């Protein structure tokens, strides 16, 4: 190899023809570090595969052009290097020939419709927040009894989770929903009798019928108010807020209890690493009101895309797996890689659009409270959202993925630290694929 050192850039190796982009999961080299031909430079994920990005030559890292957690097209360079390997001049344009190619790429944020930032219709506010987590703490170490070839730090690195809460054998989803709901009603300053509608978001109901909302209604001692379940998977609670706002705006209800509850610990296949370490149990609730002042709901986004209908699924209803489920797969199943890319793009686009529609600036957002799906997904979403990652509130390390209960549980944790006029964004992605977001002025 010649001693004539020059600067150039490297691209990710192309994968299947249908693949257009990939995510840098982790860089294994840093600026100024030397590397050798064949050395692994980064861990990379695309929609259909996980692969190693290996050095095609000896060289030194000048700069990393794509941040960890960021998604980049295959046609864009990801790393700038210095090398004396003359063969690289034939394969990739050098820095001297194309100086713009080694500049750090700008974040690719597609434009969104500004819509209207004005609050229309009846003023609808959020009042009290309540949450419930089961007492039992389940650590990664406890679950690793089933997987002795990996360790606790590996699980934390892949998921961002160190522990989660699992319900007792005698508990049902409605029990957890009741505990969160009574706290929310109490903190709202209302009496249970003031609640004139109940919405429960859940993919794990007590029974197929009656609805868990009706069971909750009985536990609360209410009669006469409409009550129904809503299933939008992990997006369910935010979907529920939007439905409640519509009921209030139309005059059907004044004070609506919206509760998200999930009991997923009994639906996990111990052999399936895509799901076994992710999920926890819990419930979160709030009251929306059109007659009492509180935290103003500004804008909302609801969407669903059946193109991702197989990315997250469960074929059997309920919160338990029966002894005989026949030929039906009773467990929660995820296509992790496809979900990673879809969720990253959906979270970031939703945050940007809600900020614009609310008439805010990214730097003014106090908190983004996302669905606690996966630590790496949320870090990647922050890269593209325009809001610094430190303003994303994460509690996934302690509670895991509690599906539709995750946003209200997280909100209950930060409620005491919030101040009047704080700007907050909720964002969720769930099976369906469902997408939902809300902006709130505290």
CATH number at residue 387: 3.40.47.10
Is pLDDT at 440 greater than 90 in this prediction?
yes
- The residue length of the chain stands at 442
CATH of the domain at 59: 2.40.50.100
Residue 255, in any domain of the structure: yes
Buried b (16+ CB within 10 A) or exposed e, 165-191: bbbeeebbbbbbbbbbbbbbbebbebe
Could you tell me if 91 and 135 lie in one domain? no
Cα separation, 152 vs 89, in Å, equals 44
Could you tell me if 287 and 418 lie in one domain? yes
Could you tell me if 81 and 201 lie in one domain? no
Cα separation, 220 vs 192, in Å, equals 7
Could you tell me if 153 and 260 lie in one domain? yes
Query: In this prediction, what percent of the chain has a pLDDT beyond 90?
Result: 59
Residue 135, in any domain of the structure: yes
Query: Do 166 and 138 meet the contact criterion of CB atoms below 8 Å apart?
Result: yes
Could you tell me if 263 and 135 lie in one domain? yes
Could you tell me if 64 and 209 lie in one domain? no
- State how many domains the chain has: 2
The pLDDT tens digits of the residues spanning 173-196 come to 999 999 999 999 999 999 999 999
Cα separation, 60 vs 66, in Å, equals 17
Cα separation, 376 vs 383, in Å, equals 11
Residue 412, in any domain of the structure: yes
Could you tell me if 256 and 372 lie in one domain? yes
Is pLDDT at 393 greater than 60 in this prediction?
yes
Residue 376, in any domain of the structure: yes
Residues with catalytic annotation?
234, 371, 401
Residue span of the structural domain in which 412 resides? 125-441
Query: Do 407 and 211 meet the contact criterion of CB atoms below 8 Å apart?
Result: no
Cα separation, 408 vs 183, in Å, equals 12
Residue 403, in any domain of the structure: yes
Q: Residue 159: pLDDT band by 50, 70, 90 thresholds?
A: confident
Cα separation, 56 vs 10, in Å, equals 9
Q: Give just the sign of the alpha carbon dihedral 405, 411, 412, 413.
A: positive
Could you tell me if 97 and 167 lie in one domain? no
- Nearest 5°: CA angle at 438, between 436 and 440? 165
Average pLDDT in the 139-160 region? 88
Query: Do 187 and 128 meet the contact criterion of CB atoms below 8 Å apart?
Result: yes
- When the pLDDT of each residue in the chain is averaged and rounded to a whole number, the result is 86
Residue 32, in any domain of the structure: yes
pLDDT at 361 (0 to 100): 93
- Is-cis flag, bond preceding 432, omega within 30? no
Could you tell me if 277 and 356 lie in one domain? yes
The radius of gyration computed from the CA coordinates of the chain, to the nearest angstrom, equals 24
Six-digit token string for 381: 């979403």
Tell me the pTM: 0.73
Is pLDDT at 262 greater than 90 in this prediction?
yes
Residue 239, in any domain of the structure: yes
Task: Return the closest-CA partner of residue 279 out of 333, 207, 229, 344.
Answer: 333
Average pLDDT in the 36-48 region? 85
Q: Residue 14: pLDDT band by 50, 70, 90 thresholds?
A: low
Could you tell me if 147 and 290 lie in one domain? yes
Could you tell me if 176 and 46 lie in one domain? no
Could you tell me if 258 and 405 lie in one domain? yes
The residue out of 52, 70, 102 marking a domain boundary is 102
Query: Do 160 and 397 meet the contact criterion of CB atoms below 8 Å apart?
Result: yes
Six-digit token string for 298: 């500004």
Average pLDDT in the 315-343 region? 78
Residue 162, in any domain of the structure: yes
The pLDDT tens digits of the residues spanning 81-139 come to 999 887 665 443 333 333 333 333 232 333 334 333 334 468 999 999 999 999 999 99
Q: Residue 3: pLDDT band by 50, 70, 90 thresholds?
A: low
């Amino acid at each position: 190899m010649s001693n004539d050192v020059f600067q150039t850039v490297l691209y990710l190796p192309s994968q299947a023809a249908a693949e257009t982009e990939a995510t840098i999961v982790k860089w294994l080299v840093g600026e100024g570090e030397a590397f050798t031909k064949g050395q692994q430079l980064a861990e990379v994920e695309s929609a259909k595969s996980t692969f190693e990005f290996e050095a095609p030559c000896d060289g030194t890292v000048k700069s990393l052009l794509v941040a960890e957690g960021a998604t980049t097209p295959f046609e864009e360079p990801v790393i700038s290097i210095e090398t004396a390997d003359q063969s690289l001049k034939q394969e990739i344009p050098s820095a001297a020939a194309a100086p713009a190619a080694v500049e750090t790429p700008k974040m690719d944020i597609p434009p969104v419709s500004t819509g209207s930032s004005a609050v229309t219709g009846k003023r609808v506010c959020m009042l009290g927040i309540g949450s419930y987590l089961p007492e039992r703490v389940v650590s990664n170490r406890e679950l690793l009894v089933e997987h002795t070839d990996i360790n606790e730090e590996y699980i934390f690195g892949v998921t961002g989770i160190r522990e989660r809460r699992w319900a007792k054998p005698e508990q049902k989803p409605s029990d957890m929903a009741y505990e969160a709901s009574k706290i929310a009603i109490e903190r709202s300053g209302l009496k249970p009798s003031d609640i004139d509608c109940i919405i429960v978001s859940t993919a794990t109901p007590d029974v197929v019928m009656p609805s868990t909302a009706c069971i909750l209604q009985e536990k609360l001692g209410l009669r006469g108010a409409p009550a129904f379940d809503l299933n939008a998977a992990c997006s369910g609670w935010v979907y529920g807020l939007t439905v409640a706002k519509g009921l209030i705006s139309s005059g059907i209800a004044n004070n609506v209890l919206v509760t998200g509850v999930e009991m997923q610990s009994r639906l996990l296949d111990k052999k399936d690493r895509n799901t076994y370490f992710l999920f926890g149990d819990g419930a979160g609730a709030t009251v929306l009101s059109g007659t009492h002042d509180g935290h103003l709901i500004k804008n909302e986004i609801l969407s669903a895309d059946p193109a991702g209908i197989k990315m997250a699924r469960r074929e059997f209803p309920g919160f338990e797996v029966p002894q005989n489920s026949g030929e039906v797969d009773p467990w929660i199943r995820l296509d992790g890689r496809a979900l990673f890319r879809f969720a990253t793009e959906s979270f970031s686009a939703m945050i940007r659009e809600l900020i614009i529609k609310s008439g805010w600036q990214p730097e003014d957002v106090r908190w983004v409270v996302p669905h606690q799906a996966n630590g790496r997904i949320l870090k990647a979403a922050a890269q593209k959202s325009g809001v610094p990652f430190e303003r994303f509130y994460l509690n996934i390390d302690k509670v895991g993925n509690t599906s539709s209960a995750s946003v209200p549980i997280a909100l209950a944790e930060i409620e005491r630290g919030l101040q009047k006029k704080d700007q907050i964004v909720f964002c969720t992605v769930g099976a369906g694929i469902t997408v939902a977001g809300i902006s709130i002025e505290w």
